[in-house]
Amino acid sequence: MIEFVQDNEERIFQALDQDVGKHPVEAYRDEVGVVAKSAKLSLSCVEKWMAPRKGDLPLVFFPASAQVMPEPFGVVLIMGSWNFPISLSLDPLIAAISAGNAVVLKPSELSPTCSSFLAENIPKYLDSKSIKVIEGGIDVCEQLLQQKWDKIFFTGSQRVGRIVMTAAAQHLTPVTLELGGKSPAIMDSSSNPTNMKVIAKRIVGAKWGSCSGQACIAIDYLLVEERFASDLIDLLAKTIKQFYGQNPIESKSLCKIVNKNNFKRLLDLLKDPLVEASVVYGGSVDEEKMYIEPTILLNPPLDSQIMTEEIFGPLLPIITLDDIYESIDFISSRPKPLAIYAFTRDEKFKKQILSRTSSGSVTFNDTLLQFLCDSLPFGGVGQSGFGRYHGKYSFDTFSHEKAILQRGFFPELEPRYPPWNSFKLHFIKLAYAFNYIGLILLLLGLKK
């Protein structure tokens, strides 16, 4: 796998450019680099991860040993996604392999160049008897889902997540669903102008710098106090220009929209007149090249589609509040998102966000980086999914933890067996309470 990404870096960049217009830097940072890092970590840790773990045993079991041993599930199915078509296919693949499974990978058909690149080249580097890449669309997915898998790992939308889980239920197949949601960013007032510049960069980077907003952990919408809104918008506009130049659609650093369907879907979000009227920056599109300019909206109606569905595109609504603390109720009254970003130095506010909202993850004063932190589990909760991976969590996600108790034949405890009497009951009660002294006294006839 490491060789695969090293040998084919250029070709991967080209495929990503073809499918989503991804710049090589983004492609390395979010795809090639992630896969290389994952593979290296697994390689260095797999022996440790595979080792059984000891469990604590109460004395009353003596002599005995208890351990938990990870074992592979068997044959697993990984369904990749189109927005990070290399890393969201290969990272789970690395995980499944390190846990010892045979794997079928089904890359997304919406990123066809990457899909066929994987189908053609993975067999050249990996054991093609145990690891297969199957290409195709909905009909192929349906056929695959009818089979009995030992585990299914799915990255994608909630709608398809339901279909996958329903199919898995027929075979009692455990699933990990990496879904999405509306990941909000909160910005409070406790930042000085220098920090504000950094915040603006991080917001712009997290929205448009990640597949042009087509990322499960991209900032979906922003919450800020009314009085800071216009300054923030100005700053964001400046930063956008800084990153993407005067004409972002011409910039090589911005991804395109993956296909016509999604392009239309995004345009439809803007069709609502009230939504259209709330656009304060951007809004222009190039239908032929399928680019949408970074677009900011201010206070679109909360019941509009753009505020009820996951946007997954380069449109950023900003919702203003009277008091930033209201953001907590705002977020917690909506489905649990995959990520929450909060720019604040108010420690009390941070604590409230952590305890009164629920999300896959929370990142303070930055964006997206939680994805790179291998010691943090990456996964959703509620509508944003369940299960997790990255680092050792990847290995665990594709393993069954088998509990093993080993005993000897000696000594043998009579009170375990019928016929029952009050002595045996007393014995067991003491044993359960780990009252060893009591047990000894009982056995010596000194306890009633």
Partner 1 sequence: MRSLCVEPFQNFSVVDTGARRTLTYCSPWKTNHKHEAVLFPPPSRPIRKSLCICLSSSSKLPVMMEEEKKTFDANEAALLVKELNESFRTGKTKSYEWRVSQLKSIEKMVVEREKDICEALYKDLSKPEFEAFVSEIAMVKSSCKEALKELKHWMKPEKAKTSMATYPSSAEIVSEPLGAVLVISTWNYPFALSVKPVIGAITAGNATVLKPSEIAPATSSLLSKLFEEYLDRSAVRVVEGDVPQTTALLEQKWDKIFYTGSPRVGRIIMTAAAKHLTPVVLELGGKCPAVIDSDVDLQVTARRIVAGKWQANNGQACISVDYIITTKDFAPKLIDALRKGIEECFGTDPMESKDISRIVSSNHFSRLQSLMDEYKVYNKIVVGGQRNQKELKIAPTIFLDVPGDSQLMQEEIFGPLLPIITVENVKDSIDLINSKPKPLAAYLFTNNDKLKNYFVQSVSSGGMAINDTVLHVTVSSLPFGGVGESGMGSYHGKFSFDAFSHKKAVLYRSFSGDSSVRYPPYTPEKQKLIKAVMNGGIFNIILALMGWSRD
3-state secondary structure of 343: strand
Distance CA 81, CA 184 (A): 22
Q: Which residues have a catalytic role annotated?
A: 178, 216
The structure tokens listed for 444 are 């010596």
Q: What burial class does residue 128 get, using C-beta atoms within 10 Å of its C-beta: 0-12 exposed, 13-18 middle, 19+ buried?
A: exposed
Distance CA 414, CA 391 (A): 47
- How many residues bind partner 1 (CB under 8 A)? The answer is 104
Nearer residue to partner 1 within complex by CB, 425 or 440: 425
The structure tokens listed for 3 are 């060789």
What is the closest distance, in whole angstroms, from the C-beta atom of residue 361 to partner 1 in the complex? 4
DSSP 81-136: -SSSTTHHHHHHHHHHHHTT-EEEEE--TTSHHHHHHHHHHHHHHS-TTTEEE---
**Contact residue for partner 1 among 100, 123, 136, 245 (CB under 8 A):** 245
Residue 71 lies near partner 1 (rule: CB under 8 A): yes
327 to 366: interface string for partner 1, x by CB under 8 A: -----x---------------------xxx-xxxxxxxxx
DSSP 12-65: HHHHHHHHH---HHHHIIIIIHHHHHHHHHHHHHHHHHHS-EEE---GGG-SEE
Cβ atoms within 10 A of the Cβ of 236, count? 24
What Rg value do the Cα atoms of the chain yield, rounded? 27
What is the closest distance, in whole angstroms, from the C-beta atom of residue 166 to partner 1 in the complex? 4
Tell me whether strands 339-343 and 361-364 are parallel, antiparallel or unpaired. Answer: parallel
**Contact residue for partner 1 among 47, 48, 409, 445 (CB under 8 A):** 409
**Contact residue for partner 1 among 84, 153, 244, 312 (CB under 8 A):** 244
Distances (CA, A) of 234 to 37, 184, 230: 37, 20, 6
208 to 227: interface string for partner 1, x by CB under 8 A: -x------------------
What is the closest distance, in whole angstroms, from the C-beta atom of residue 304 to partner 1 in the complex? 24
Distance CA 415, CA 424 (A): 5
**Contact residue for partner 1 among 322, 417, 445, 448 (CB under 8 A):** 417
What is the closest distance, in whole angstroms, from the C-beta atom of residue 345 to partner 1 in the complex? 9
**Contact residue for partner 1 among 109, 135, 150, 286 (CB under 8 A):** 150
Residue 193 lies near partner 1 (rule: CB under 8 A): no
**Contact residue for partner 1 among 139, 303, 322, 412 (CB under 8 A):** 412
Residue 207 lies near partner 1 (rule: CB under 8 A): no
The H or E element containing residue 430 is: helix 422-432
Nearer residue to partner 1 within complex by CB, 81 or 363: 363
The structure tokens listed for 131 are 């690891």
Q: Which of residues 264-323 bind partner 1 (CB under 8 A)?
A: none
Residue 100 lies near partner 1 (rule: CB under 8 A): no
What is the closest distance, in whole angstroms, from the C-beta atom of residue 179 to partner 1 in the complex? 7
**Contact residue for partner 1 among 152, 199, 229, 236 (CB under 8 A):** 199
Stretch that binds partner 1, among 31-39, 79-87, 226-234, 273-281 (CB under 8 A): 31-39
Residue 28 lies near partner 1 (rule: CB under 8 A): yes
411 preceded by a cis bond (ω within 30 of 0): yes
113 to 132: interface string for partner 1, x by CB under 8 A: --------------------
184 preceded by a cis bond (ω within 30 of 0): no
**Contact residue for partner 1 among 158, 259, 304, 435 (CB under 8 A):** 158
What is the closest distance, in whole angstroms, from the C-beta atom of residue 242 to partner 1 in the complex? 8
Nearer residue to partner 1 within complex by CB, 313 or 360: 360
Cβ atoms within 10 A of the Cβ of 273, count? 8
3-state secondary structure of 296: strand
Nearer residue to partner 1 within complex by CB, 22 or 133: 22
Stretch that binds partner 1, among 55-63, 88-96, 274-282, 305-313 (CB under 8 A): 55-63
**Contact residue for partner 1 among 133, 204, 219, 316 (CB under 8 A):** 204
Phi/psi of residue 238, each to 5°? -60, -45
Residue listed under structure tokens 């109720």: 329
**Contact residue for partner 1 among 48, 288, 303, 406 (CB under 8 A):** 406
63 preceded by a cis bond (ω within 30 of 0): yes
359 to 398: interface string for partner 1, x by CB under 8 A: xxxxxxxx--xx-xxxxxxx--xxx-xxxx----------
Residue 254 lies near partner 1 (rule: CB under 8 A): yes
Q: Which of residues 8-27 bind partner 1 (CB under 8 A)?
A: 23-26
Picking from 156, 46, 87, the residue whose alpha carbon sits closest to that of residue 392 is 46
What is the closest distance, in whole angstroms, from the C-beta atom of residue 20 to partner 1 in the complex? 15
